[in-house]
């Protein structure tokens, strides 16, 4: 069976860490690269987390540094959610591998050309790297099969009343991607929250003997600490892992075509994804996830953890 080639563009981040672990464990995926952007926390930490995690998981892939700030606006992070280092203070073993010599956008282009149109780009952070790649390499559109992204919302936001964090963090990059003409699949807050996991469910995952057990338990300790429970309501939504899981089982979500644009000008709703399901068929530029199956997602996560059994 031919594996699906992917690049995971991310900003680890609690849920990005799960997306990386999930992608690496999937027998149907070939991770051609992990490219890193600033977002959930400052770039030093997102880059460090990516390379340390790739090393810990024995990943045979390129890990490339990307944008340290958004295209136009100033960097603002979500460290209050992810902890100062992005992993709730949990320290990964220091990597025994090096970063790729090329930048994230160059790696995206190189691997896309090598895959001759079969590469799927999974974007789980601000879309800065993706936008730069599209601007630098006009031929990239011919060599990317589709982009599966975690970002946006058809309803309310999580970093402002209307905007989801990944889009809010670099709305100008998001608008470039939405206007790219590439096939896009959007997993927004409206659907990822349907896969929220309780403390009991996450504790159950952390009780499975595996090479990632200590990491899961460490992240749980942060997520279900007193301050975080107050913020999260006692649940954890692994937004990025939900988007990645779609490549493993499309039954995880139902999609609807829509026209999606990103609000750039309003001081009240900048970063909002404006989703029009009533557009003409030729105007639709995104397939938007509207319904998710939590049980399918939970099963995928359980299989993932068990795949890291201690040898």
Catalytic residue IDs: 239
Q: Tokens 């990239």 belong to which residue?
A: 140
**Spatial separation of the C-alpha atoms in residues 158 and 192, rounded to whole Å:** 12
User: Which residues face 261 on adjacent strands?
Assistant: 274
Are 149 and 170 in contact by the 8 Å Cβ rule? The answer is no
Residues 6 or more apart whose Cβ sits within 8 Å of residue 211? 56, 57, 308, 309, 310
Cα 65 from chain centre? 16
Q: Do you find a cis peptide bond into 121, omega within 30 degrees of 0?
A: no
Q: Tokens 């201690």 belong to which residue?
A: 310
The CA distances from residue 17 to 20, 87, 161, 174, 240, in Å, are: 5, 8, 26, 22, 9
DSSP secondary structure, 194-217, as one string: GG-EEHHHHHHHHTS-STTHHHHH
φ/ψ of 172, rounded to 5, equals -70, -40
Structure-block tokens of residue 38: 């600033």
The DSSP letter of residue 4 is: E
């Amino acid at each position: 069976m031919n594996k699906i080639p992917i690049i995971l563009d991310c900003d680890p981040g609690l849920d990005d860490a799960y997306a990386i672990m999930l992608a690496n464990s999937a027998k149907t995926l070939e991770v051609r690269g992990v490219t890193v952007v600033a977002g959930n926390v400052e770039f030093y930490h997102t880059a460090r987390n990516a390379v340390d995690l790739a090393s810990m998981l024995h990943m045979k892939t390129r890990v490339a540094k990307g944008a340290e700030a958004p295209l136009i606006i100033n960097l603002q992070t979500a460290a209050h959610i992810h902890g100062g280092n992005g992993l709730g203070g949990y320290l990964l073993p220091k990597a025994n591998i090096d970063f790729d010599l090329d930048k994230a956008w160059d790696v995206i282009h190189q691997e896309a050309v090598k895959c001759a149109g079969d590469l799927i780009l999974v974007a789980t952070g601000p879309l800065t790297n993706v936008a730069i790649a599209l601007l630098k390499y006009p031929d990239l559109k011919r060599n990317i099969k589709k982009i599966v992204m975690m970002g946006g919302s058809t309803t309310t936001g999580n970093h402002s009343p209307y905007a989801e964090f990944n889009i809010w963090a670099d709305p100008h990059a998001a608008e470039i991607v939405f206007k790219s003409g590439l096939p896009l699949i959007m997993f927004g807050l409206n659907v990822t929250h349907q896969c929220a996991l309780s403390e009991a469910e996450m504790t159950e995952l952390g009780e499975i003997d595996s090479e990632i057990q200590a990491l899961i338990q460490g992240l749980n300790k942060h997520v279900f600490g007193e301050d975080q429970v107050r913020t999260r309501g006692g649940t954890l939504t692994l937004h990025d892992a939900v988007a990645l899981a779609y490549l493993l089982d499309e039954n995880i979500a139902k999609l609807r075509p829509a026209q999606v644009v990103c609000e750039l000008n309003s001081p009240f709703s900048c970063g909002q994804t404006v989703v029009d399901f009533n557009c003409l068929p030729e105007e639709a530029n995104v397939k938007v996830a509207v319904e998710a199956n939590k049980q399918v997602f939970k099963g995928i996560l359980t299989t993932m953890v068990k795949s890291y059994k201690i040898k």
